[in-house]
Amino acid sequence: MARVSVVVLISGRGSNMASLLAAAAANELSSARIVAVIANRPDAAGLRTAAAHGVPTAVVDHRQFAGRDEFDRALREAIDAFAPDLVLLAGFMRILGESFVRHYHGRLLNIHPSLLPSFPGLHTHRRALAEGVRIHGCTVHFVTPDLDHGPVVAQAAVPVLDDDDEITLAARVLAQEHRIYPLAVRWFAEGRLRVEDGRVRLATAQASDAALIAPQTDAARVGAS
């Protein structure tokens, strides 16, 4: 069975991209292979990480284009040169136009640092703290023209602690991002994801499959023991 080819889009250090590369190296993505990493910034640190893993890289600098449509066309050409089955947004800090998104309908995933539909957009950890929520987290979803509102594939929840600030909360959420993004990619590559009536269904689900991961805090583990 041919493996699903994956292109990853980044803007900075690409920590989620690195977690995907690590999962691939550990043979946890046996049905998928990352064929390229593309950045919209030539100084994106993740490009060096990808190159160190032997993954081809490319840059489509958004600052070189007059507008979003021109950038989207150039980016699409760069992606399609690798003929991917799946495109992943991994800290890609550009809003993509409707035509671009529709071109990759059903094969474009994003990871967002909140439990969507709560806190779409930017500054999610700051907003979660300001609202006083007790549960926060991250979401893998299919990308649609509506920003951060595509069908949800998987989520991970974390507690918001009384002494949290943006840095500590972001770190706790990021650790879960690194868990669920490779999981979602594996499900896609195995052909187990389908969208029905705007909702994602996991075909041939197993007892070990969890679309919601809710790790306990150390305090909760002690209390339960």
Same domain for 77 and 125, yes or no, is no
Whether the per-residue pLDDT at 59 is higher than 50: the answer is yes
Whether the per-residue pLDDT at 221 is higher than 50: the answer is no
pLDDT in tens, 81-108: 999 999 999 999 999 999 999 999 999 9
Give, rounded to a whole angstrom, the gap between the first and last alpha carbons of the chain: 45
Instruction: Give the pairing of strands 57-59 and 86-89.
Output: unpaired
Given a contact cutoff of 8 angstroms between Cβ atoms, the answer to whether 127 and 119 are in contact is: yes
Annotated catalytic, 105?
Answer: no
Domain end, chosen from 85, 104, 123, is at: 104
Same domain for 51 and 147, yes or no, is no
Same domain for 179 and 161, yes or no, is yes
**Tell me, what's the pLDDT at 145?**
95
Who wins on pLDDT, 222 or 73? 73
**Tell me, what's the pLDDT at 126?**
98
DSSP alpha helix (H) spans, 109-165:
124-131
Identify the H or E element spanning 73.
helix 68-80
Ramachandran angles phi, psi of 25, nearest 5°: -65, -30
- b/e burial code for range 209-224 (CB count within 10 A of at least 16 → b): eebebeeeeeeeeeee
DSSP for 1-14?
-PPEEEEEEESSS-
Given a contact cutoff of 8 angstroms between Cβ atoms, the answer to whether 107 and 185 are in contact is: no
Ramachandran angles phi, psi of 153, nearest 5°: -95, -50
Q: Bridge-partner residues for 34, per DSSP? A: 6
Domains contained in the chain, number: 2
pLDDT in tens, 162-199: 999 999 999 999 999 999 999 999 999 999 999 999 99
Same domain for 117 and 184, yes or no, is yes
d(CA 7, CA 159): 32
pLDDT in tens, 109-131: 999 999 999 999 999 999 999 99
Look up the domain containing 150 and give its range: 112-225
Whether the per-residue pLDDT at 160 is higher than 50: the answer is yes
Same domain for 128 and 197, yes or no, is yes
Same domain for 207 and 121, yes or no, is yes
| Range scoring the smallest mean pLDDT among 28-32, 128-132, 217-221 | 217-221
- Catalytic site residue from 112, 125, 136, 178: 112
Given a contact cutoff of 8 angstroms between Cβ atoms, the answer to whether 104 and 87 are in contact is: yes
Give the CATH number, domain containing residue 27. 3.40.50.170
d(CA 104, CA 100): 7
